[in-house]
Amino acid sequence: MSGMQGGPVVILGMMASGKSTVGSRLAHRLGRRMLDSDEQIEAATGRKAREIEASEGLGAVHALETAMLEAGVRAPRPAVVTAAASVVDDPKTADLIQSAFVVWLRIRPETILARMAGDPDNRHRPSLGAGSDAETLTQLQKLDQRRAPSYASCANLVLDVDALDPDDAVESILSVCGLPELVVGAGAIVGEGPVWDPGSSVLWWVDITGRRIHRFDPATGEDEFWDTPREPTALALRRAGGLVVTTPQGIEAFHPDRAPKDRLELLIPIEADRSANRANDAKCDRRGRFWVGTLAYDFAADQGRVYRVDSTGDVTTVIEKATLSNGLAWTDDDTTFYFADSVAGQVAAYDFDLETGALDHRRVVIPRDGAPFNPDGLTIDQEGCLWVAHFADGPGSVCGVPGGVTRFAPDGQELASIRMPVSYATSACFGGADLRDLYITTGRIDVPQADLVHEPHAGGLFRWRARVAGSVLHAFDG
């Protein structure tokens, strides 16, 4: 596994191949925007393609189709783009789509003719310049012979769709393309804190600003949520049963069966004397100690800290200065602790003593190095590599770093990166029976309304299938 994954998906096909239907259903599954060349042409010109063809000729339509393909491939966030067969006649198409996952919906000319017969308004038939069905079939066969080599040369996946149901086509594409799939279109403002519960086979996660705790059940696809009176920022399973949640007040017990105003019960205050601060990310080590990072609401420099909360409730400061405390993880051998500071743009490693919970020998393993990098939540796999969720430089159309999840070796070498169809990827957690399902939370806070059109499912929960398993998250022993 290497390189960038998660670019645009381009679906090519002859007329009547069903590419628009397949494209729209695929876009929904991937949580992406769907861009159809015919719809784009009408939106840009105010005229249907057939009207342009009638007044300006087929060449004008072909030029617009190529321009629409280019706009879709270069959209601010990865989209699903469907393009007419004619785009392969443009010499620059191959270069244009080289960063995309290209699907060719191959269809026999005889099937096209049969589908056209059932669609009297089909815009393509007049442009074929044929009268009888036999003449039309001949023209379709010539087009197929001319364009098939171009399709074959650029396609990553070829599907014969003469008798293939659109939903089956989508499943075939998903099984091969290796892209993150939307599992909950929650529209969370700041999705965060995913925790896999192996006992119940469910994923817990939060919407900080939306003040909600979610539970996603992969077996049913259902996502249940509970409103809370304060911002939940991170979760941990409790060895005694149930959940604990960090909030601006500290560590609280979660009571889902109570009324919303009573669902949180303060157990251990954190920074009760610092009203300008709140807790942020938090995780437990193997001994069941809860490590809680804090930040200032205004992100003032060095005002955050990291605390170790023992099973007795004792609170110890382990990192004195942080700005935006975020992802935490430990290696499986319990010798190294990782910590991300989003504002500093760094992930630091520390020597870790499991018995005492002490940290030593801080070093930066994933530095900014003059390039923008905005690490958020993170997790670790069984090979000791870090998976760091990171948000984009900004929600606009030009971003040096897109939102995504990047896998790093212990020495900080970048191994792979998953580009997300949203600006803000916030955290990641491994789950599933084999711990190979990577769940990714996202957010939509601060994304302008004009940019949300490019990321319609910002704030959704995504899942990506990894080849390597993750590590189990530990429970709180307090």
Q: What is the pLDDT of residues 84-126, one digit of tens each?
A: 888 888 888 888 898 899 999 999 999 998 888 776 666 555 5
In a domain, 193, yes or no: yes
| Half-sphere exposure for 474 (CA within 13 Å, toward CB) | 20
- Nearest Cα to Cα of residue 328 among 169, 471, 132: 471
Provide the token pair at 364.
Answer: 């930066």
In a domain, 473, yes or no: no
* 157 and 206 within one domain: no
What integer is the mean pLDDT of 264-292?
Answer: 96
Q: Pick the last residue of a domain from 160, 177, 194.
A: 177
In a domain, 471, yes or no: no
Q: From CA 235, how far away is CA 226, in angstroms rounded?
A: 14
Q: Which of 135-149, 200-214, 298-312, 464-478 has the lowest mean pLDDT?
A: 135-149
Q: From CA 469, how far away is CA 451, in angstroms rounded?
A: 35
* 127 and 233 within one domain: no
**For the segment 347-400, what is each residue's pLDDT rounded down to a tens digit?**
999 999 999 999 999 999 998 666 668 899 999 999 999 999 998 876 655 566
| Residue 186 belongs to domain with CATH number | 2.120.10.30
Q: What are phi and psi of 197, to 5 degrees?
A: -100, 100
* 348 and 269 within one domain: yes
In a domain, 262, yes or no: yes
In a domain, 132, yes or no: yes
**For the segment 248-257, what is each residue's pLDDT rounded down to a tens digit?**
999 999 999 9
* 377 and 229 within one domain: yes
Coil, strand or helix at 282: strand
The verdict on whether 376 is a catalytic residue reads yes
* 317 and 283 within one domain: yes
Residue 471 and residue 430 in contact, taking contact as beta carbons nearer than 8 Å: yes
In a domain, 294, yes or no: yes
Q: Pick the last residue of a domain from 159, 177, 195.
A: 177
Count of the separate structural domains present in the chain: 2
- Nearest Cα to Cα of residue 164 among 113, 125, 116, 108: 108
Pairing of strands 290-296, 277-284: antiparallel
Residue 9 and residue 80 in contact, taking contact as beta carbons nearer than 8 Å: yes
Domain housing 60: 3-177
pLDDT at position 326 is 96
* 100 and 243 within one domain: no
Coil, strand or helix at 67: helix
* 220 and 88 within one domain: no
* 218 and 141 within one domain: no
pLDDT at position 1 is 39
Q: From CA 251, how far away is CA 270, in angstroms rounded?
A: 7
- pLDDT > 90: what percent of the chain? 73
Q: Report CA-CA distances (Å) from 14 to 19, 104, 140, 145, 281.
A: 9, 9, 9, 12, 50
- Helix, strand, coil shares of the chain as percentages rounded to 5? 25, 40, 40
Give me the catalytic one of 207, 376, 381, 451. Answer: 376
| Residue 87 belongs to domain with CATH number | 3.40.50.300
Range of 41-45, 227-231, 449-453 with top mean pLDDT: 227-231
* 252 and 146 within one domain: no
- Nearest Cα to Cα of residue 438 among 381, 397, 356, 369: 381
Coil, strand or helix at 51: helix
In a domain, 308, yes or no: yes
Band (128; pLDDT cuts 50, 70, 90): low
Q: Tokens 């069903």 map to which residue? A: 18
This prediction has a pTM of: 0.94
* 212 and 165 within one domain: no
In a domain, 475, yes or no: no
Beta strands in 138-190 (DSSP E): 157-160, 181-184
* 118 and 196 within one domain: no
Q: From CA 124, how far away is CA 86, in angstroms rounded?
A: 11
Q: Pick the last residue of a domain from 177, 212, 232.
A: 177
Provide the token pair at 358.
Answer: 């002490």
Tell me which H or E stretch contains 39: helix 37-45
* 250 and 395 within one domain: yes
